[in-house]
Structure 1
Amino acid sequence: MTTPAPAVQRLSWAGVRARRLDRNALSVPVDTAATGPADVVAAMCGAHAQVMSAAELSIGLRLAGATRTDVRRGLWEERALVKTHGPRGTVHLLPARDLPMWTGALAAVPATSMQAKAIRLDPGQIEEVVAAIAAAVADAELTIDELDAAVTAATGPWAADPVMPAFQGMWPRWRQALHTAALRGALCFGPDRGRKVTYTSPRRWLPGFRPMEARAAVTEVVRRYLYAYGPATPRHFARWLAAPPGWAAELFASMAGELQQVEVEGAAAWVLAGDTEVPDEPARSVRLLPYFDAFGIACQPRDLVFPGRAAERALARGQAGNYPLLLIDGTVAGVWHQRRSGRWIDITVEPLDALDTRQARGLDEQIQRVGAIMEAAPRVRIGAVTVGPHA
């Protein structure tokens, strides 16, 4: 006699939305007396920081009463956060305490070079460059020009060959390994020197730092991703991490004993085993998410998060993050834009549909909150956003 397979649990999309909002502190911001920026960033699985003001807003929205000054203090004074390359190889703020996990995991993701074969670094050259970077920044904060000189001196003139197409010219060959060095934990960002970016060693943030063993690191990243953004599929995870889909599928399969299949709107997805709870109350919040906020990028499936016209208006060639999002009850419902002018911040919000009384009140409160986080007085216009997507 065979034992029937257990029934697959069905989760409603409304329940999934409420669960994700709660776990990302987007239902109710968390109390700053009990937590801080690093805890919030850990829950988000990293805060995208290519646009630093967007990272400050992402974190501030999730922390009751916090401002951009609190985020900056957590990064540059307390060093509870570190600015480095994170998921997808893009600039992120990560909790300093989690840097061993992130570097162990990200260095294990199979990489593909975007550079033409003729200018690509070979494996030996990559190792030379990463070692040279680590030595140069061990006890220093260097600008990119200073790092150019240090790497070339340590490796040889081949590293300085200006062969990489850049915004206004050509970059030296070695720079294609810059983000590799960050993913391996050889460097992170230091404080800006005037208008110039600097690089330094993450060991100045986390003494004794070393990357976690790869297998342990990648499985822990899966656990955290599924807790924050599940239910999800291996393909969703691969897209979020910019990893090969086949590699992600094998990773999920290797964790089969830790994962549980569920069904959402007729589609199979995975959560951590036993983690199927959803809130009793439906999602009820209005949020103005900045460029590249983790919620808009990590949440899947796209057709449910960006339903109907939202996909046309708020995605750029299917890519999330390029527009700031008006999020209502966990669903994208419009776009918005902000522009700073002295002590003022001009905010334009473009809802895709008319707002009811609750939503309009929530939007007013959120606009005031954005102004408080950014330490500016908001001036508001409801209408079309004419600014195009962020590159």
Structure 2
Amino acid sequence: MLTLRDLNRATLARQHLLRRHEGTVADVVHRLAGLQAQEPRPPYLGVWTRLAGFARDDLHAELHARTVVRAPLHRATLHLVTAADFAEFRPLLRLVLAGAARRFQGVDYDAVEAAAGRLLAEGPQTFNELRPRLLAEFPGGHDRALGYAARMLTPLIMVPTQDRWSFPRESAFALPGIDLDPAPSLEGLVERYLAAFGPANDADMQTWSGLGGLGPVFAGMRDRLEVLADHTGRRLYDLPDAPRPPGDAPAPVRFLPDFDNLMLGHADRTRVLAREHRGTVVTKNLRVRATYLIDGFVAGTWQIKRSGKKAKLIVTPFTKDPVELLEEEGMALLSFAEPDATGRSLEVGG
């Protein structure tokens, strides 16, 4: 039986939150099976907290080389993935993306997808540029519905710029120029998920990916997976050779950005986030706040406030742990996020 702390340490090990990974940006992005990237800055911070020696320009260069891309994927939200994973994941997630698009009535989805592909073949465009062109092709349609359908149905990536976090507020989208996998393996995606988030089950993977009907897939892989049970009796699956350090393994302080994978990878998040704190971390408008971990579990939220040349890291604790525990890692985070600040401090918020 796996205790709650056993689950915590196993997941942190795979998320490179017990010890920073020694390798490249593309390597860690691949190992995580992608990072949520609804906003430009959080993926940078998510890589920083997991990768030893990471510099901002490392990810910036990978994005411009298109070895790493930002695109609509899991749960129909923006994610940062390697180009190779985009080619594999995008066909598997097509139904998730199509399901999100089809919430609008009266749209000829096949025609919109074809039109969007044709228009974007001319070159990258923002959706403020693309929507009027779609509306001209579908008179009487709703421009937002047409744009959203195009974004969900057409394989697209976002075009990086020289902005600080590689993308402006209004980014252009482009056709990926990547051959999609003609025979992607759902079983392979299960293994990738477990490698990054396991031990887990089909409900957990559905929460992460948006894909339903995974129970039979997990059941059909029992000869390739280890079947375990947690402290509540839930059946969980895992890769036989995946790391599962003991529950008393040391876990350093780690700062996680908004929308971090760790907060979004399981149906039952108690392995990292206590139920009484979930409503504070995941807000009613579905924002996922930046958090920090003490002894492997979410112990509070954080935000950065900038005033002129001064930057403050403001932490809001959930626990009575001494704030001094956060000083070293917190100031390192602040130096990375605000490198041009001449004054930096850590403060406790209300």
Structures share fold, TM-score greater than 0.5: yes
The answer for the alignment partner of 1:387 in structure 2 is none
Q: Which amino acid aligns with 1:232?
A: A
Checking the alignment, whether the CA contact within 8 Å between 2:10 and 2:244 is kept in structure 1 is yes
The answer for the alignment partner of 1:306 in structure 2 is 273
The alpha carbon displacement at 1:145 in A equals: 3.3
SS in 2 for 1:334: strand
More strand by share: 1
Q: Which amino acid aligns with 1:83?
A: R
Identity %: 25
SS in 1 for 2:227: strand
Structure-2 separation of matches of 1:21 and 1:296? 12
TM-score, normalised by the number of residues in structure 2 = 0.87
The answer for the alignment partner of 1:188 in structure 2 is 157
Checking the alignment, whether the CA contact within 8 Å between 1:50 and 1:90 is kept in structure 2 is yes
- The alignment covers a number of residue pairs equal to 341
SS in 1 for 2:99: coil
Query: Do structure 1's residue 13 and structure 2's residue 4 form an aligned pair?
Result: yes
The alpha carbon displacement at 1:58 in A equals: 0.7
The answer for the alignment partner of 1:157 in structure 2 is 138
TM-score, normalised by the number of residues in structure 1 = 0.78
The alpha carbon displacement at 1:52 in A equals: 0.9
1:1-391 matched pairs, under 5 angstroms: 10-31=1-22, 35-76=23-64, 78-109=65-96, 111-113=98-100, 119-121=105-107, 125-138=108-121, 140-152=123-135, 156-158=137-139, 161-162=141-142, 171-182=143-154, 185=155, 187-191=156-160, 196-203=170-177, 206=178, 209-214=179-184, 216=185, 218-244=186-212, 247-275=213-241, 277-280=243-246, 282-299=249-266, 301-307=268-274, 309-316=276-283, 322-356=288-322, 360-361=324-325, 363-376=326-339, 377=341, 378-384=344-350
Q: Which amino acid aligns with 2:118?
A: A
SS in 1 for 2:171: strand
Checking the alignment, whether the CA contact within 8 Å between 1:231 and 1:269 is kept in structure 2 is no
The alpha carbon displacement at 1:225 in A equals: 1.0
Structure-2 separation of matches of 1:66 and 1:237? 29
Q: Which has the larger radius of gyration?
A: 1
Checking the alignment, whether the CA contact within 8 Å between 2:292 and 2:299 is kept in structure 1 is yes
Structure 2: state its 5+ residue gaps.
Answer: 162-166
Q: Which amino acid aligns with 2:259?
A: F
Cα 1:370–1:65 change in 2 (3 A) is: same
Structure-2 separation of matches of 1:257 and 1:181? 35
The alpha carbon displacement at 1:120 in A equals: 3.8
Structure-2 separation of matches of 1:367 and 1:289? 11
Deviation string, structure 1 residues 315-367 (Cα, Å, up to 9, x no partner): 33596x621112122211111112334544321111212225xx733x11211
What's the Cα RMSD here?
2.7
Structure-1 separation of matches of 2:267 and 2:49? 21
